[in-house]
């Protein structure tokens, strides 16, 4: 067991190569750090580390798709992130999660609850016509991303399943997908994300975005982050 996030980061530095067979490594790295007991140990130790709490708060926020995205570790060399995603029952969003892909390969473990997982293809030109955007990294010194309208694209649902607590899934950056919470309990996942690459990805939605191309992020302050972590720990201990 790892006593804190610093130990996790040191272990990954010795066991992960960000230049070769990234996808194959992501689950192997994620598995030993994603048990309930290990998560509780890491989060409790985090609450005792004010400096690390401050660093994590500056890169964590509530995502437009309705979950809290807490970036526990961010490393530049080797390049990866470890993210905790939490869907609270009280969070409501006005849209179904947008179909998207990522600039990175990743693996995810469902820690609590269950999620509906769907993949999509544009190969055969049949299905639902959606607004198509590309997302680009922000300008230097800015947060969030830049969204550019590319037109429309027709996507067909190819795979639809429910993933339950304890399950893993591994995803290539090329795969268009979405993840929907399936239960009214606390749904959560731990994700190991590989290198960011050029930071460009695709986004598909049924309604057109309005307003600026720039989509900023509203990061947590330390007190909000501590509140959310304590709330999640309380749920884990009771479950």
**Token pair 């040191």: residue:** 10
Give per-residue pLDDT as tens, 147-175: 899 999 999 999 999 999 999 999 999 99
Domains and CATH numbers, the chain: 5-238 (2.60.120.10)
The per-residue pLDDT of the chain, averaged, comes to 91
Band (pLDDT 50/70/90 cuts) for residue 66 is confident
| CA–CA distance, 190 with 168 (Å, rounded to integer) | 10
The total of other beta-carbon atoms located within 10 Å of residue 137's CB is 14
Mean pLDDT value across residues 200-224: 84
What pTM was estimated for this model as a whole? 0.90
Phi, psi of 89 (to 5 degrees): -60, -30
Strand 187-193 to strand 106-112: parallel, antiparallel, or no bridges (unpaired)?
A: antiparallel
What pLDDT does 79 receive? 94
Contact at 8 Å (CB) between 185 and 112? Answer: yes
| CA–CA distance, 58 with 2 (Å, rounded to integer) | 24
- Helix 50-57, helix 36-47: angle, nearest 10: 100
| CA–CA distance, 185 with 42 (Å, rounded to integer) | 22
How far the first Cα of the chain sits from its last, in Å, is 21
Query: pLDDT: is 178 or 127 the higher one?
Result: 178
Band (pLDDT 50/70/90 cuts) for residue 24 is confident
Give per-residue pLDDT as tens, 132-144: 999 998 888 777 7
Q: Is the pLDDT of residue 131 over 80?
A: yes
Q: Is the pLDDT of residue 203 over 70?
A: yes
| CA–CA distance, 231 with 87 (Å, rounded to integer) | 12
What pLDDT does 32 receive? 96
Q: Is the pLDDT of residue 34 over 70?
A: yes
Mean pLDDT value across residues 177-185: 85
Q: Smallest Cα–Cα separation from 24: which of 226, 236, 170?
A: 170
What pLDDT does 188 receive? 96
What pLDDT does 59 receive? 96
Band (pLDDT 50/70/90 cuts) for residue 184 is confident
Q: Is the pLDDT of residue 44 over 70?
A: yes
What pLDDT does 53 receive? 98
Write the CA distances from 109 to 3, 46, 125, 219, integer angstroms. Answer: 20, 20, 32, 24
Query: pLDDT: is 195 or 127 the higher one?
Result: 195
Q: Is the pLDDT of residue 215 over 80?
A: no
Mean pLDDT value across residues 90-97: 70
| Tokens encoding 201 | 């990805």
Q: Smallest Cα–Cα separation from 63: which of 186, 187, 218, 175?
A: 218
Band (pLDDT 50/70/90 cuts) for residue 94 is low
What pLDDT does 211 receive? 58
């Amino acid at each position: 067991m790892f006593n804190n996030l610093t130990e996790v980061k040191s272990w990954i530095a010795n066991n992960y190569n960000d230049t070769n067979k990234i996808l194959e490594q992501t689950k192997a790295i994620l598995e030993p750090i994603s048990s309930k007991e290990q998560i509780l140990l890491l989060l409790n130790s985090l609450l005792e580390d004010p400096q690390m709490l401050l660093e994590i708060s500056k890169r964590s926020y509530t995502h437009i798709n309705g979950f809290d995205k807490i970036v526990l570790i961010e490393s530049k060399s080797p390049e990866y992130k470890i993210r905790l995603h939490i869907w609270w029952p009280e969070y409501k969003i006005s849209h179904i999660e947008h179909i998207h892909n990522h600039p990175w390969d990743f693996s995810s473990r469902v820690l609590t609850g269950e999620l509906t997982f769907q993949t999509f293809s544009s190969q055969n030109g049949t299905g639902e016509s959606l607004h198509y955007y590309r997302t680009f990294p922000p300008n230097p010194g800015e947060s969030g991303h830049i969204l550019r309208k590319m037109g429309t694209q027709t996507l067909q649902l190819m795979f639809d399943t429910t993933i339950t607590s304890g399950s893993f899934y591994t995803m290539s950056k090329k795969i268009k997908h979405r993840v929907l919470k399936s239960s009214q309990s606390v749904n959560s996942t731990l994700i190991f994300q590989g290198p960011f690459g050029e930071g460009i990805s695709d986004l598909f939605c049924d309604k057109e975005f309005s307003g600026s191309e720039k989509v900023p992020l509203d990061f947590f302050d330390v007190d909000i982050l501590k509140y959310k972590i304590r709330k999640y720990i309380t749920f884990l201990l009771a479950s």
